[in-house]
Each structure stands twice: as C-alpha cells, then as structure tokens.
Structure 1
Amino acid sequence: MTEYKKILVVINPTVDHQAALARAVELATKSNASITAFLSIYDFSYEMTSILSSHEREAMRQGVIDQRSAWLDTAIAPFNSAGVAIDSKVIWHNRPFESVINCALEGQYDLIVKSTHEHDKLKAVIFTPTDWHLMRKAPMPVLMVKEHDWPVAGKILCALNVASEDSEHQTLNGKIIEHAKDLATKFSADVHLVNGYPGTPVNLAIELPDFDAHAYNNNIRMQHQSRVECLAQAYDIPLDRCHVEEGLPEDVIPEVADRIDAELVILGTVGRTGFSAALIGNTAEHVIDSIRCDLLAIKPEGYVSPLAE
C-alpha cells in the first residue's frame, strides 16, 4: 500500500489561494500525514551588495527570510483548523527546484505537492520551469495541482506504457496502478487505464506497395489492448475502464482525461526516450497544459536523483 506520511508542499508566493496546500491537507487527513509548507526565496539584489560588509549582507538576507517566514505563517493559518500538523520552512536558494529536492531528500518526504498553471509557450521554450525539473529529478512522487476538485466517486486515470516488456516498465506500470488504487480507496474514486499506441508509419505504406496498413494497425492495437487488459485483470479493474487509443501519449492522455472528467492523471517516467519521455521537454508542456486536472509523476523503484549523487 502507498502511504504519504510526510508531505512537502511548495508554496507559491505570488498568489493568495494556495491550491497545493489545500490539496495536501485533503491527502493528509486521509493518510494521517504531516505537512511542511516550503518556500524557496532569493533576492537578486543581494548579488549587487558587494559594497556592504559581510555582516550587513547577512542582516539583509536574514531580514528577507524573516519577512517571508511571517508571511508564510499567515498563509498557513487558514489550514490550521483542519487537524493536520503543518510546519513551515523558508530557504534562501537561487535555484528553487534544487532547494525543494534537497529538502525532500534530507527530510525523507514521501510526496512533493506543487501548484501549476498554463505556461507562457514562448517562455517555456527559453526557460525550463521548476515543474519539469521537479518531475524529472525528484525521486519521490510529485503531485502537480490545478484548480480542480477531487469529488467523491471521481476518476483517476493511469497512463501506462505497454509498448515495452522490460521489467522496469512493467514494474513502473504496477507502481502507477498501486498509487491509483490507494488514492481511489481514500477518495472513493474509480481507477481507469489509458494507453496510446502508434499509428501505421506513413513511409512504410508508401515504400511497400503490398504492405497491409489496416492489418498492421489492428495487430498493434490488439497487442496494446491485450496488455492493458491483463494489467486491469491483475488489479481488479473493470475492462470497460480501459482506454486504448491510437495516437501520441501527449494527445491521447489529455483527450481521455477530459472525456471521462478525471480528477487526477498518474504518469510514470524512467528516462528521456520513447514513451518514458512523457515528462520531458515539450511533451511535458503539452500534458501539463492540456489536462484540466492534477498530475502525479511517479519514478521507478531505485531511481536516484542526480542531485543526490
């Protein structure tokens, strides 16, 4: 069973409503978990204070930390009546994603929770958002929260990779479903499975006159359908909750999530190639920005963050 006993919430200092903290409180009440509200700050004007003495620079830095700590305590206050233990931590660091992962590793947290939103597409090409760094490099699950409720009898969608039969992918598929099943029990939700399979390569149909594109497509679809249904049966998931559709994962996942009105999509990532690149680069942008619900990114067992090496 998957348990979240220690939850690290990344606070957004630019908004009034802390959606990530609200979601973490929901989870904590179901799991008897503790929460740390985490704020990473850095004032770039600090770089330009070389004319100040080291004592004056430190006083300036501490003053900013104290100010943000007071603000954070105020932001947490509305949630204190929920009966969940919430503490706060403010860290001075010029790379937010590193400070979050380092804190999560040092404190042995089970889950990182962060709010997200639609990114400016031009900036997304030039700057790599903290969201993607966290999903790519954090060894523990990362929950990206949008403004979408988790109602009772909702739906959780597991994005599976059944194209590969290697043990790492198979184990990760199982881990994704186990996380979903545990959350489904806590929130009385239904678990659905989704898989996108590739269509017939156009160049094959053109270069090979005798190539039967329809038969090829059917064979690929049936292969994926069979593997998804095997997983469904192994985890007692009704077959009518399996969604196997032609297309790229960044297209299929949001389409199915929207169609069934999912509250949460759970994705796995093991690297930078093939389906496992679902949380890397532009595909991540499409998935995050195209779904209107929360996204939970899961790493395989034994994954070691590059920040921990």
Structure 2
Amino acid sequence: MAQLQLTSILVYVKPEQTHSFAVQKAIEILGEAQGVIKVVTAFEPPPSWLSTVLINKDLEKAYLKEVVDTLKHLANGYSHYQGDIKTHLLRGRPYMEIVREVIRSGPDIVMIDDEGSSSDDSTHISGLDWRLFRKCPCPVWLIQPPNENKGIAVALTPEGEDEGIELNRRLLESAMCLAENMSQDLHVIQAWEEFGHTYVMKRTTQAEYEQYMKNCKVKVAESLFGFLEPYGFSRDSGNVHLVEGAPEKVIPRTANKLTLDTLVIGTIARSGIAGHLLGNTAERIIDKAECSIFAMKPEGWKSPIEV
C-alpha cells in the first residue's frame, strides 16, 4: 500500500497567535518519528504610500520584530517535542507565500487552525482556507480545536467521475495511514444516486421502481466492495456507509452523525479550468462538515501559483 509520508509538516499561524491546535496535532501525528515542523506566519507589506504618512518611520520594523518574537514564543511553548520545530516569516499575501513555501520546501502536508464562524458568517471556512484548498499542491489539513470526536472517514468519489478509482486509492490509503497513526477507527463514506429518477418513476409501476432502486444499490455496492475488499473491508463491515442521495447533502450529514475527528476528501478542479478551483460538490461538503478537513488533490496536480 502506498504510504502517506508524514515526516515534514508546515503549519501556518496568524501573526498574533500565541498557541496553535494545528501545531499540537502536528506533534501528535509525527510522534516518535520526530519529523520537522515548520511554523510560518506571513506579513503582507503595506502599500508604498503609507510610509509617506507614518509619523514613526520605524513602526513597520517594530511590528515585524514583535511578529517574529511572538512566532518564536509560540514554537518555544512546544519545547517538549523531541523533533525539530522551525519558524519562518513569509512576506507577501499569505496564501500565495504559503503555496510558494510548499513548492520550495516540499512539506508532506500543510496544517492550519480552523477559526470557526464569525458572527456575520455561518461558514467556518475562512478566505485563506478556501484559497489553500484550491491552490496548494500538497494536502491541506484544517484543524478544529480539541474535542471528544473520534474516527477518520474518507469520502470516496464514485467511479467514472473525474479521476475516479485512482483518486479513491490515494484517498483511502491516506485515510488508512492517518487512522493508524492516530489509533482511530476508519470509516468509508460513498454517496450514490439512481440514474434517471424522474424518467423511470413516471414510466414504471411502484413495484418495478422499487426493484430498479434495489438493483441500482446492488450494482453500486458490488463496485464499492470490489474496490474495498483488497484493503480488508468486508460486506458486513459496520464502518462502510453507502448512502443514497446527493453527495453534498448525505456525505456531511453522515460525517456529522459519526462525530468524526477528520474527514478526508478529494478536491477536483472544475472541468475546463486549469487546476485552481474546487469542484462544487467538494466545496459544499467541506462547508457543511463539522470536523477537521483533510483535503487532497489528484496525483500530479499543479498549482497555478509559481515561485
């Protein structure tokens, strides 16, 4: 089985952050492997005209020193970690500089704290989160604060859609690695919808339609377990959830009922657009899921951002 490499993690924190759940999770994940954790923050330089109106010309320099000191203080708070924790200040727009740092240094994953929803916005996904989900070439793990939730789930893509089975392999094998690393149960979620619902219903009897639905589910289950059985899943496994309905509705609903720690999901660029947007379905699932999100791109995906 292809292994998700977990030896180098990049964690982004805001300039004013004094602690980070993402750093805590990175330490938990790396454990005895004692890999490298690079904690970064970003300073976006102000417009050039601002220097002409500032009374204190050293204000920017003083602010940068405060940011660097805060970053080092945050990292020093995890001195018990036996591996290497580095800090680095990026200059520029945060999402662009994070992606460029990923391209330069090649971490296995990027981790970032989930800020939660604000009073004027029901979503818990920030603008920075969305941009990283869309444009970061390595997996992005959005970390929620510690809670009692347990379990890892992977949302599989139905075969024949997008990269299909190859993406499913990457998703499942990565989720298996996370579950093993974190000593948590692994769940598999796949949504299915019958083809031609309205057309078939209008042209068949109730009994024929019910049989049609049963046949559809049997075929989907055969395909799903044909994929899963080599990985040790059986048809009587209680951890495989084949749910009927639109993926953007039933996947987050199922994930939320399971009170998961993390949902592993694939993010796919919309057809015809050069690899920098999430698919609509993935966006809606991410937005509705009440757990940490581990988002992966297809193999060989290239970010539109360059170094």
TM-score normalized by structure 1? 0.83
Q: For 1:28-49, what per-residue CA distance to the aligned partner results, in whole angstroms no more than 9, with x for missing partners?
A: 22533100101012254x4432
Amino acid at match of 2:297: K
- 2:77 is paired with a residue of what secondary structure? helix
| 2:190 alignment partner in structure 1 | 195
Residues 27-46 of structure 1: matches in 2 within 5 Å? 27-42=29-44, 44=46, 46=47
Q: For 1:113-170, what per-residue CA distance to the aligned partner results, in whole angstroms no more than 9, with x for missing partners?
A: 0111434596689x9711111111111111110124588xx4211100124177x321
| 1:209 alignment partner in structure 2 | 203
Shift of 1:269: 1.9
> Are the aligned partners of 2:155 and 2:189 in contact in 1 as well (CA < 8 Å)?
yes
| 1:65 alignment partner in structure 2 | 64
- 2:256 alignment partner, one of 253, 258, 270: 258
CA distance in 2 between partners of 1:282 and 1:169 (Å): 16
Shift of 1:218: 2.6
Residues 88-107 of structure 1: matches in 2 within 5 Å? 88-93=87-92, 95-107=93-105
Matched, 1:227 2:259: no
| 1:21 alignment partner in structure 2 | 23
Matched, 1:183 2:182: no
Q: For 1:266-299, what per-residue CA distance to the aligned partner results, in whole angstroms no more than 9, with x for missing partners?
A: 10123225xxx9x837655543343332111111
| 2:49 alignment partner in structure 1 | 48
> Are the aligned partners of 2:41 and 2:88 in contact in 1 as well (CA < 8 Å)?
yes
Aligned length: 295
Say if 1:144 and 1:187 are closer, same or farther in 2 by CA, change over 3 A: same
> Are the aligned partners of 1:115 and 1:146 in contact in 2 as well (CA < 8 Å)?
yes
> Are the aligned partners of 1:113 and 1:145 in contact in 2 as well (CA < 8 Å)?
yes
> Are the aligned partners of 1:118 and 1:289 in contact in 2 as well (CA < 8 Å)?
no
Query: Unpaired runs of 5+ in structure 2?
Result: none
Amino acid at match of 1:131: D
TM-score normalized by structure 2? 0.83
Matched, 1:5 2:4: no
- 2:303 is paired with a residue of what secondary structure? coil
Compare 286-295 and 234-243 and name the one that shifted more.
286-295
CA distance in 2 between partners of 1:155 and 1:148 (Å): 13
| 1:83 alignment partner in structure 2 | 82
CA RMSD of aligned residues (A): 3.1
| 2:153 alignment partner in structure 1 | 157
CA distance in 2 between partners of 1:165 and 1:48 (Å): 50
| 1:134 alignment partner in structure 2 | 132
CA distance in 1 between partners of 2:256 and 2:126 (Å): 26
> Are the aligned partners of 2:153 and 2:187 in contact in 1 as well (CA < 8 Å)?
yes
Shift of 1:199: 4.7
Query: Unpaired runs of 5+ in structure 1?
Result: none
- 1:292 alignment partner, one of 290, 293, 302: 290
Say if 1:260 and 1:120 are closer, same or farther in 2 by CA, change over 3 A: same
Matched, 1:170 2:165: yes
> Are the aligned partners of 2:269 and 2:279 in contact in 1 as well (CA < 8 Å)?
no
- 2:290 is paired with a residue of what secondary structure? coil
> Are the aligned partners of 2:265 and 2:282 in contact in 1 as well (CA < 8 Å)?
no
CA distance in 2 between partners of 1:297 and 1:82 (Å): 26
- 2:11 is paired with a residue of what secondary structure? strand
